[in-house]
Chain A
């Protein structure tokens, strides 16, 4: 379906303004004021909760295979995480994950 130009530009501009607001809402408006201890305690786990939650469904039901379980992608995910845990090295983890993905895709043809 042809995308309507008005809708497209509304989405681009709206998403730009909205995303900026989401990114600015606390750093901009709270700034230097002290936040309560219970809130800070929760915020410490933002990254370690959100990123795995973002990735998990994509590993099990990848967009690239229209949601079909895919052995190369799952293997690549396991290897990336394993190498990352073992080496604490982001680059090593990315490279071994990519190597696993392409190796398996090649082998399974």
Chain B
């Protein structure tokens, strides 16, 4: 069903983000648990999740804080894990750059992998959406996700380390991301971008400060752009 009003855009955002509830809960629980194990109290763990809302970066910071690593390096490494957010910001700009500044600032705080991917998929599927509808959709996608991120961090910190490792909560996020990736393979360029990114990420896994991810991402983006340009050139009847 096509989106016709900002209200229906907001609702569609909520509905599209509902599957993420299944994974945001275990992931937030896991952060709360590990934070408690690392010696953080409930207030510290919850503040961490509210101020940062970036699971992967929080896990990185928590891990490094427990090792004998200088504070500046902890900060730099965790920010490097979050560098992809700058790329998300760049790729959202053509779609929501026209929104009021306060909405862009709020959307920036609420940019997480789930909201970004859901929004991009929707914007590309229905490019005729207006900017207010796009913002409404974006805020819809975070409505079921972000409050649960706070709440289950809190619960994880309260129940402490009573959840056994055999629950394999660590794998909740890889499964979500894989599920989110699958609908994105629309053209050969998308498939090529993903393949190159995967190969480079495996080769570059030992690059310090989590920069392997950024290198792999850039390699994938360059591949996608090249393949897209090549497809346009070889398309029958194309002017260039």
Which 7 A-B pairs have CB atoms at the shortest separation, nearest pair first? A84-B182, A49-B220, A45-B224, A64-B170, A93-B179, A16-B51, A53-B216
> Do A77 and B175 form a contact, CB below 8 Å, given A27-B108, A52-B220?
yes
A50 CA to B220 CA, complexed, in Å: 8
Asked whether A71 is an interface residue with its Cβ less than 8 Å from the other chain, the reply is no
Chain B residues touching A, majority SS: helix
A20 neighbours in B (Cβ, 8 Å): 108-109
B220 touches A45 (CB 8 A): yes
Q: How far is the CB of A51 from chain B (nearest CB, A)?
A: 5
Asked whether B159 is an interface residue with its Cβ less than 8 Å from the other chain, the reply is no
A13 neighbours in B (Cβ, 8 Å): 51
B184 neighbours in A (Cβ, 8 Å): 47-48
Query: Which residue of chain B is the closest to A58 with respect to CB atoms?
Result: B174
> Across the A-B interface, how many residue pairs have beta carbons closer than 8 Å?
286
Asked whether B47 is an interface residue with its Cβ less than 8 Å from the other chain, the reply is yes
A45 touches B221 (CB 8 A): yes
Q: A93: which of B67, B85, B178, B224 is its contact (CB, 8 Å)?
A: B178
B47, B56, B174, B180: residue with the most chain A Cβ atoms closer than 10 Å: B174
Q: How far is the CB of B81 from chain A (nearest CB, A)?
A: 9
A46 touches B168 (CB 8 A): no
Q: A50: which of B189, B197, B202 is its contact (CB, 8 Å)?
A: B197
Query: Which residue of chain A is the closest to B175 with respect to CB atoms?
Result: A97
Q: How many residues of A contact B (CB 8 A)?
A: 74
Asked whether B148 is an interface residue with its Cβ less than 8 Å from the other chain, the reply is no
A11 neighbours in B (Cβ, 8 Å): 61, 65, 71, 74-75, 78
A88 touches B183 (CB 8 A): yes
Asked whether B111 is an interface residue with its Cβ less than 8 Å from the other chain, the reply is yes
Q: List 30 A-B contacts (CB under 8 A).
A: A8-B65, A12-B51, A15-B52, A24-B89, A27-B96, A42-B222, A43-B87, A45-B221, A45-B228, A46-B88, A47-B116, A47-B184, A48-B185, A48-B224, A49-B196, A49-B216, A49-B219, A49-B223, A51-B181, A52-B197, A52-B201, A53-B198, A53-B213, A53-B216, A57-B202, A77-B175, A90-B183, A93-B178, A102-B168, A105-B166
Known pairs A51-B181, A60-B202; list 13 more (Cβ under 8 Å).
A3-B65, A11-B65, A15-B52, A23-B108, A28-B105, A30-B97, A42-B222, A43-B91, A46-B88, A48-B184, A49-B194, A64-B171, A94-B175
A57 neighbours in B (Cβ, 8 Å): 201-202, 205, 212
